[in-house]
Amino acid sequence: MNLAEQPDHLSPVQISAQPTSVTVARPTLLCLSHLRWGFVYQRPQHVMSRLARDYDVLFFEEPVFADTPLADLETSEPASGITLLVPRLPHGMEPQQIVASQRQLLDDYLAARSPGELLLWYLTPMSLSFTDHLNAQVTIFDCMDELSAFKGAPPDLLEKEKQLLGKADVVFTGGYSLWQAKRSQHQNAHAVPSSVDVAHFAKARSPLPEPADQGLIGRPRLGFFGVIDERFDIELVGELASQRLDWQIVLIGPVVKIDPATLPRQSNIHYLGAKSYAELPAYLSGWDVALMPFAINESTRFISPTKTPEYLAGGCPVVSTPVQDVINGYGDSGVVSIAATSHAFILAIEAALGTRSSADFARRADQVLDGMSWDNTCAVMKEQIECLR
């Protein structure tokens, strides 16, 4: 129909010059975690704080038990766009009561929110016990580690993981070895190794004020930061300290799931405890060599240590035991040495001492880190999620 043929009964319609704005509710991303937000700042915090730019992130932790007559859900906002949810349950609950209480607390909380799209992000399959009824637009399994191989793993974890793999729309793994193990179990599995905030750790490439508890420790200094647990090679660290009394070993991080009394206590080993993420560059700046003394056992078979690129971003040469993902990712880099025995570890440290200040080391480290960032890692994850929405 042309303009001349328009019917007479049509009249002009007034159009406002100011378009009406429409508010679209952001999707809710519920992250179900076995790790606490305030424990060690690592993959979950990096990923969730970035995804919070586009989603309303709820970070649901495992319960804490208290002298309280009723179950309650404690809420807080540890970072922009992140709501932390911690169930507080009475002591003495039976396992079935714990599951039922978490389900009720979570259901009530979600019901009180504006209705909208729900995304489920599992860091642990065990959370299926109280969330298997939720209707999610997309279900994500971020398989950071082979949790079933860790000390104290629940006996039904493998069965829960099998259920989650059947439910998940997409699976991310924390490294390539883990992806090789999971790709046959899920048709949409992707290796998404943990990354690094280069700018944060690059501060350590310049001299920084020494932290008070490290400033009086002599040199050369060999350092480690991370969780000290069953993955930590206690015997190796003890042998290093005994065989090279002139080396000072600085260990930063909480001791978890192992008896602190079993740790070596030579005078040249310094346990400085847990430090905040913001403090780490100041400690790293004062090290001559960074260590990754992981025991080679079932708990480390699939790990892909985040600290490898963090050490390198801080300008520190690295010596590691033969963790498969470290060998595959950094073995030929020229800035990470792999050593399988205490003797080889000592030789590798001796060769690494003094290389930190060289321009060649910095160039090689930058080549390894080229293109690595948490922003890029999260963009890969977000693309997968958006394709499924």
pLDDT at position 12 over 90: no
Question: CATH topology for 28-195+376-388?
Answer: Rossmann fold (3.40.50)
The neighbour count for residue 111, using CB atoms within 10 Å, is 8
* More confident of the two residues 25 and 234: 234
Check: CB of residue 102 under 8 Å from CB of residue 108.
no
- CATH 3.40.50.2000, domain 198-369, yes or no: yes
SS3 percent helix, strand, coil of the chain, rounded to 5, is 35, 20, 45
Average pLDDT, the chain: 93
Quote the pTM value. 0.90
Residue pLDDT, tens place only, 131-180 = 999 999 999 999 999 988 888 889 999 999 999 999 999 999 999 999 99
pLDDT at position 6 over 90: no
> What would the mean pLDDT of 270-274 be, rounded to a whole number?
98
Cα–Cα distance for residue pair 345/321, rounded to 1 Å: 8
Q: Where are the alpha helices (DSSP H) in 183-230?
A: 198-202, 212-215
pLDDT at position 18 over 60: no
Residue pLDDT, tens place only, 96-110 = 999 999 999 999 999
pLDDT band at 23 (very low <50, low <70, confident <90, very high): low
Beta 64-66 vs 118-122: how paired, if at all? unpaired
Residue pLDDT, tens place only, 84-97 = 999 999 999 999 99
Q: What stretch(es) of the chain map to CATH 3.40.50.2000? A: 28-195+376-388, 198-369
